[in-house]
Structure 1
Amino acid sequence: MSKVTLTVNGRTASGECEDRTLLVHFIREKLGLTGTHVGCDTTQCGACVIHMDGKSVKSCSILAVQASGSDITTIEGLAANGELHPVQAAFKEHHGLQCGFCTPGMVMTAVDMINRHGGALDEETVRAELDGNICRCTGYHNIVKAVLSANAEMHAAKQAAE
């Protein structure tokens, strides 16, 4: 057993786990944050995407002990002051969620994508970068619309603040 200490959604969290425990299982089972979903456990579906040290990663591809000391943001940590993150709000507004299974991973991937591209996103780029996230309901059209809408809103807000 190893002790793992993380900063998760702004708070320090610790727990013990076997060395072979995947980060996704540690987050869900030890920390009780079940918004991060387990889909395939093989990095194929993207349901388990979180942000680790500011970048999106598939948490089923990392051992919890490897992540110890990292800053983690899960889907539960995106909303602030009782309000949805702009990407979450755009998914709701544009019906980018159907069964909801892929939604946390899609949202986390989209937030990272928008942060990296700084407003310069087009449909082709969004579709290419969402390639590692599978929607079983095939809601990609509305998901792409939601990402582009959130991107425009976040970019406009950033420009207004400058």
Structure 2
Amino acid sequence: MVTVTTDARAVAETVTDPELPMLTLADLGVLRDVSEEDGRVVVTITPTYSGCPAMDAMRADLVHALRAAGYDEVDVRTALHPPWTTDWISVEGRRRLAEAGIAPPGAAPRRAEGPIPLTLGPTVRAVRCPRCGSADTEETSAFGATACRALRRCRSCREPFEHVKEI
């Protein structure tokens, strides 16, 4: 057995997102709670959206980091309510996204309890280019490397970039 030398929350807060490795799970807002119950560490995470394929990797990375820090028993749980929102991304996380050339999300659409209403037709969002800061950008694809990102192009500097979609 390894001697525990670090607080479990501090360890969990260092684990990075497998799809956005410049962010920790804490920066992304998916790390909801870390507690210790009867010698076991219980970590609660929330997926960014239903069916997020990164959840298994997040769980495995949390278990690995906590076991390496000396915690033998680790239980990673999933909380679906309230649902995750891009508003939970920290200020530091938004800064790190922009530094990596990914436009951080704006304010998430407000939603009432229940189903999200369907909006037909194009939605126009002012998304600033993370490279030059221009708001003169256009969406080239609603889907990027992951379902939570879109592809955009800056009309000023002509550079392509990704944008984390508001959820």
TM-score bucket (shorter structure): under 0.3
Higher strand share: 2
Q: TM-score, normalised to structure 1's length?
A: 0.26
Using the size of structure 2 for normalisation, the TM-score is 0.26
Work out which structure has the larger RCO, using CA pairs closer than 8 Å and 6 or more positions apart in sequence: 1
Greater fraction of residues in helix? 1
